[in-house]
Amino acid sequence: MTSPLRLDFNFTPLPNTPTLPKCTVVSAAGYAFFSDEKVALAFGTTCVAVAVEGRDPVAVPYFELAELSLGNHAITTTGHTYPDFGLFGGLLSGGATNKEVTSSTTQPSAQTFISLVTHVGELHLLFTGLSPAVLRMLLAEAFTVWRQNQPDWLEKRRKSVDAYVDREGLDEQTRTALKERLLTSLVPVAPPPAPSGPFAGTAMAGDFEAPVRMGVCPSCKTTIPFFSEECPKCQALFGPDSAWQVRPL
């Protein structure tokens, strides 16, 4: 995958962020997309990928993304008509007049305009099916990674860490650790293989070792495992045909 400047990116999707299919291109500048074209928008660890079926995806790296915004200025109007029962008399007597009252409610429609303003141009898309508030929550990872690539945001957060460390009198090791948290990767580390055995899924999984029964060699009196076939010290044999047998402790 390449950007308009031919920068190569290995796309790794964010683990909990959905791909937005069938976004409609409203307008594009600096990118080879056309109005009313359908594109898919995917969010990765280093860039946003914009793909059209039959063409190579275009990468928009986060460090080039100056603005990422979601909005919707369109509204839908719903309404209904009901009889006018009057202010008090009609409500108390149950009588109704011949008049009707129409009520309407306006609310944002379930669609979102997505704007990406970058170093090399702009891309404005329309995604239907979700309002901006809901879509903003679903794209929490993408906004977090984008902020981590904004120098102004990082500088403000580092100053906030410095102020906290100085106020609390913490050491420099703590200061460094707190600043490293600002760039924490959102891609989780692969978990270790699942344990097996009778204690799998318990607190003892992976740390449990069955106890070994011990005994005494009848020849040299050394403590050895009870089911040994040979004493490691005196080489006495304890097979089924031997006169020697390990004595229990």
pLDDT digits (tens, 9 = 90+) for 170-191: 899 998 999 888 887 766 555 5
* One-character DSSP codes across 7-50: -B----B-TT---EEEEEEEEEESSS--TT-EEEEEEBSSEEEE
How deeply is 67 buried, as exposed, middle or buried, from its count of CB atoms within 10 A (0-12, 13-18, 19+)?
exposed
pLDDT confidence of residue 48: 94
% of residues, the chain, pLDDT over 90: 41
| Confidence at residue 199, expressed as pLDDT on a 0 to 100 scale | 43
Q: Which two tokens stand for residue 15?
A: 């683990």
Fold type of domain 20-74+109-149: PH-domain like (2.30.29)
pLDDT of residue 195: 55
- pTM for this model (two decimals): 0.60
pLDDT value, residue 82: 47
pLDDT digits (tens, 9 = 90+) for 52-63: 988 989 999 999
Q: What is the pLDDT of residues 217-238, one digit of tens each?
A: 888 888 888 777 788 888 888 7
